[in-house]
Amino acid sequence: MSKKILVIEDEENLGKLIVAFLEKNGFKVQCLSQGVEDIEVIRKEQPDLILTDLLLPGLHGFDICKNVKEDPELGETPLIIMTAVYKNAIHKLEAKRLGVKDFVEKPLDFDDLLRKIEGCIGPAETGQKQSAPPPDTIPEDMVEISGDDEETRKIPIIKSNKALNDSIQREFNSLKENYADKLPEKVIALEKTWENILNGTDVSQHLVLLRRKVHSLTGSGETFGFKEISDKAREMELLLDMIIAEGEHTIPNRKNQMNGLLDDLRHHPVVSTELEMMRLGKTF
C-alpha cells in the first residue's frame, strides 16, 4: 500500500506540480491549497508525512508544525518544510526546535525533495527500491569549494610581503567604499526596473533584467562585506523566479512582497545614509 503525503501549499500551480511529481513516484498525495485552520483536517488525512509551506492562509506553517507535534495522534508524523523566504539559520533552528525533520528551499529541486521524503519515510511502497538519487555526491575528481565556509576558513591567506599586503588591504578598503557609494544607485535601478514591470512596460524583458541585477547583488553584496544586502537580494531573486515560473499574471499577487523587499534594501543603513547624502547634495 502506498504511503500518503499531505501537501499544504496555497500556490495552486506549485501544489499541482508537487502532487503530480509525488504521485509519479508512487505516493498517495492529498493537497490542502486553502491552508489549515484546524489540525482536525490533518488528523482526518492520516498522512505518513506532511510537506508544508510556511506562508499560508490560516495557520502559519510553524504553527501547523507545533500543533502536529503536540497532537497525540499526529505527533510522530514527520514534517518537511518548504519555503522561499524563511531560509536563514534562525528559521532553520526554529524549525528544528519544532521537530521538523527537514527543509527544502524554493524554487524546489524535486530530486532533492524526493530524497528528503524518502529519507524520512522510505520509498512510496514498502519493499520498493529507493528511487531518489543518492545524497549529494560530487564527482570524485571535481571539487566544489564555497567562497567562505568552514573549509575555506582553514585555507590560509597567502602571505605576500608586508608592503604588498598593506597596499592590497588599502585597495580592498577603497573598493569596499566605492561599492557602498554605488549601492543607492543600484537600489534605485532595481526600483525603476520593477516600476517598469508594474507599469506593464516590456514586462518579460524587464523581469529578466531585474533578475540579473538582483542576482549580481546576491554575489557581490556579501563579497564586499554587506551580507544583509546579499540576503535580501536572494529573497528577491527567489520571488522573481516564482513570478517567472508562474507567469506574469501573478505579478499583482507578488507586488507587495517585492515592494517590501525593495523597501528593506532602501532602509539598509549604508544605502539609506548614502541616499540621504545624495538628497542633501542635491538640496545644496
Q: Is 31 helix (H, G, I), strand (E, B) or coil?
A: strand
Q: Is 75 helix (H, G, I), strand (E, B) or coil?
A: coil
Query: Which residue lies nearer to another protein by CB, 41 or 270?
Result: 270
Which one among 157, 162, 163, 252 touches another protein, defined by CB under 8 A? Answer: 157
Ramachandran sector of residue 200 (left: φ over 0; alpha: ψ -120 to 50; beta: rest): left
Amino acid at 244: I
- Please calculate the CA angle 210-239-29 and round it to the nearest 5 degrees: 145
Which one among 12, 73, 148, 195 touches another protein, defined by CB under 8 A? Answer: 148
Query: Which residue lies nearer to another protein by CB, 36 or 183?
Result: 183
Q: Is 231 helix (H, G, I), strand (E, B) or coil?
A: helix
Grid coordinates representing 19? 502532487
Binding of another protein at residue 216 (CB under 8 A)? yes
Q: How far apart are the first and last CA of the chain?
A: 76
Window contacting another protein (CB under 8 A); options: 14-22, 93-101, 153-161, 253-261: 153-161
Site for another protein in 87-116 (CB under 8 A): 109, 111-112
Which one among 224, 240, 265, 274 touches another protein, defined by CB under 8 A? Answer: 224
Window contacting another protein (CB under 8 A); options: 37-45, 197-205, 212-220, 247-255: 212-220
Torsional sign, CA 140, 145, 146, 150 = positive
Where on the chain is the footprint of another protein (CB under 8 A)? 109, 111-112, 133, 136-139, 141-148, 152-153, 155-158, 160, 164-165, 168, 171-172, 175, 178-179, 182, 212, 215-216, 218-224, 227, 230, 234
